[in-house]
Structure 1
Amino acid sequence: MEETRGISDPENGSSSYGGLPPNPLSFSSSSSAAVAAVYRQSFDGERSLAPCNKRSLVRHQSLVKTKVSDISVENEFTLEKNKSEFVPSMRSGAWSDIGSRSSMEDAFLCVDNFMDSFGLQNSEAGPSAFYGVFDGHGGKHAADFACHHIPRYIVGDQEFPSEINKVMSSAFLQTDTAFLEACSLDGSLASGTTALAAILFGRSLVVANAGDCRAVLSRQGKAIEMSRDHKPMSSKERRRIEASGGYVYDGYLNGQLNVARALGDFHMEGMKKKKDGSDGGPLIAEPELMTTKLTEEDEFLIIGCDGVWDVFMSQNAIDFARRRLQEHNDPLMCSKELVEEAIKRKSGDNVTAVVVCLQPQPPPNLVAPRLRVQRSFSAEGLKDLQSFLDGLGD
């Protein structure tokens, strides 16, 4: 990822792999073959892949309608052949800024046509998309690595897309293992990252999260959280941490890390191994998954790193983005405005936001129903009225 104060700004930091792993920042129908070629290359033994695209501006087939049709995949992703059934029309945009930090450690990925970008085909045309945000710490290598490898492991799984939940969990864990192997070859890669990936097939949205990035869906203007922040102070995470031999001190996992789940961080003693050296430490890379069936009430999805959510509550972000989309209906501009507003609100971190519109039209104005007010006289009012009427008869 690059500092985004200027579109041609140089990349912050450098990789000892000479640009590996890359952080692909833009995809389009015209570059699908190139995208697929980059992701099909094996990481093992290679010292150079295509360099990171030096752009912070991402627009993916913006304002282009997705063809409404059926897709032919198994189980919960099979759409009934019903033309009246809602099918999302995918448009996305992303923006990232270094914020108040000295270096950029975030990475993101937007692919509005996931199957086609990786050379995969369904028997029927239909919407498929992948979106991810990766918030690095202790360096950017883990975030770039996860950005490159998670979608690669997903499409390479033999059970994709029929067992998507299992496939996404496996992709996170395989990426974590692969990064351990990379770090064992080059210690300068040592770092960690939180990761959130969202996949959409037809009407099915699946979100996998490990860490404190967050995905929030706008459903008729109401914020629907599609992920849960994995903080050490969370009661569920704290119980898991303590059961695995870890502890929480001053809100930090083992007094060192302010997230309870992350990829990487193998250099941090006691994080992914118990004190006796065995596997099963308090920091895990296993994602938590949430799924939903989209309907015509669903308007857009926001995915952001914690630099966004440190200064925005979920409903606040939905309200802000909804107003902007009503003005211009452009997810790219909306993501930029979210990031700029987070910086104005004094976010103390790198800030990255992805906005995914699910409808071709902007969100409609919400008109609150007028309540029917029932009026009645008070006892004192009735007494005064009776006295007035009695007076008329005199």
Structure 2
Amino acid sequence: MTDTKAAIAETFNHTDSEFLKADSSHTRDAGSTASTAILVGGRLVVANVGDSRAVVSKGGKAIAVSRDHKPDQTDERQRIEEAGGFVMWAGTWRVGGVLAVSRAFGDKLLKQYVVADPEIKEEVVDSSLEFLILASDGLWDVVTNDEAVAMVKPVEDPEQAAKGLLQEASQRGSADNITVVIVRFLDGTTTSAGD
């Protein structure tokens, strides 16, 4: 599993480098977060940067299998400050008073403080693992983990479940972009869809 984790970390950092290269041809500073999942044998390996989140339904319970990277978290704030940056309140806690996440792809003006090093976690794939929700903060800012799992659970078709979460987030007034992918685990196989 160490090789898998090393490959994921290398891929995230390569993606960041490519993002920064592409962004250098533009006058604006841009960034993105990511939450990814890979099936490796009997394990679900989840990696993320930023506030895109991965949540599973296991035995009927919502379990976050990623952690949002926010600048007010003790370890993230310490890392930022040790690199010479600062965290301040500007409607929410922000790196340099600007960015509300502490890890991301891109964001070249804050890159010294906002890293693309993924946090990687594993979840055992067994008969209690029902489905995975990968979504951007456009969903998670207005829908809790428990609510999302409750909404997805009765909908068999992953595409319809993803659309339902998108509609719910929109109705609740999400002010951000909304991306949702649902992966169902059925008798040792998976089906997925996203919008």
- The structure in which a higher percent of residues are strand is 2
Matches within 5 A, 1:65-104: 76=1
Question: Does 1:316 find its partner at 2:156?
Answer: no
Match of 1:177 among 9, 17, 27: 17
SS in 1 for 2:8: helix
Question: Does 1:306 find its partner at 2:148?
Answer: no
Check the 8 A contact 2:151/2:161 in 1, yes or no: no
Question: Take 1:311 and 1:295, find their aligned partners in 2: how far apart are those partners?
Answer: 30
Give the drift of 1:190.
Answer: 4.1
Deviations 1:123-171 (CA, angstroms, capped at 9, x unpaired)? xxxxxxxxxxxxxxxxxxxxxxxxxxxxxxxxxxxxxxx7111000000
Question: Does 1:355 find its partner at 2:182?
Answer: yes
Deviations 1:58-81 (CA, angstroms, capped at 9, x unpaired)? xxxxxxxxxxxxxxxxxx5xxxxx
SS in 2 for 1:166: helix
Question: Take 2:137 and 2:22, find their aligned partners in 1: how far apart are those partners?
Answer: 26
Give unpaired runs (5+ residues) of structure 1: 1-75, 77-161, 273-280, 362-394
The residue aligned with 1:255 is 97
Deviations 1:234-269 (CA, angstroms, capped at 9, x unpaired)? 122111111111111111110010000001111x2x
SS in 1 for 2:179: strand
Deviations 1:26-60 (CA, angstroms, capped at 9, x unpaired)? xxxxxxxxxxxxxxxxxxxxxxxxxxxxxxxxxxx
CA 1:211 to 1:232, structure 2 compared with 1: closer, same or farther past 3 Å? same
SS in 1 for 2:33: strand
The residue aligned with 1:236 is 75
Give unpaired runs (5+ residues) of structure 2: 189-195
Give the drift of 1:187.
Answer: 2.4
SS in 2 for 1:228: coil
Matches within 5 A, 1:186-205: 186-188=25-27, 190-205=29-44
SS in 1 for 2:39: strand
SS in 2 for 1:302: strand
Question: Does 1:334 find its partner at 2:161?
Answer: yes
What letter is aligned with 2:121? M
Question: Take 2:97 and 2:88, find their aligned partners in 1: how far apart are those partners?
Answer: 5
What letter is aligned with 1:264? G
The residue aligned with 2:191 is none
Give the drift of 1:178.
Answer: 2.1
Question: Take 1:181 and 1:341, find their aligned partners in 2: how far apart are those partners?
Answer: 36
Check the 8 A contact 1:203/1:293 in 2, yes or no: yes
Question: Does 1:343 find its partner at 2:170?
Answer: yes
The residue aligned with 1:56 is none
What letter is aligned with 2:143? F
The alignment's TM-score, normalised by the length of structure 1, stands at: 0.45
Match of 2:8 among 160, 168, 171: 168
The structure that has the greater radius of gyration is 1
Match of 1:285 among 116, 129, 154: 116
Question: Take 1:347 and 1:181, find their aligned partners in 2: how far apart are those partners?
Answer: 31
Give the drift of 1:294.
Answer: 0.8
Question: Take 1:252 and 1:181, find their aligned partners in 2: how far apart are those partners?
Answer: 24
SS in 1 for 2:66: coil
Question: Take 1:213 and 1:310, find their aligned partners in 2: how far apart are those partners?
Answer: 10
Aligned-pair identity in percent equals 42
Check the 8 A contact 2:104/2:116 in 1, yes or no: yes
Deviations 1:108-135 (CA, angstroms, capped at 9, x unpaired)? xxxxxxxxxxxxxxxxxxxxxxxxxxxx
CA 1:322 to 1:188, structure 2 compared with 1: closer, same or farther past 3 Å? same
Structure scoring higher RCO (CA < 8 A, sep ≥ 6) equals 2
SS in 1 for 2:115: coil
Give the drift of 1:283.
Answer: 0.9
Deviations 1:165-220 (CA, angstroms, capped at 9, x unpaired)? 10000001011112223333x22574111111111123211111000000001001
Give the superposed CA RMSD: 1.7
Check the 8 A contact 1:182/1:189 in 2, yes or no: no
Question: Take 1:218 and 1:244, find their aligned partners in 2: how far apart are those partners?
Answer: 37
Question: Take 1:316 and 1:335, find their aligned partners in 2: how far apart are those partners?
Answer: 13
SS in 2 for 1:284: coil
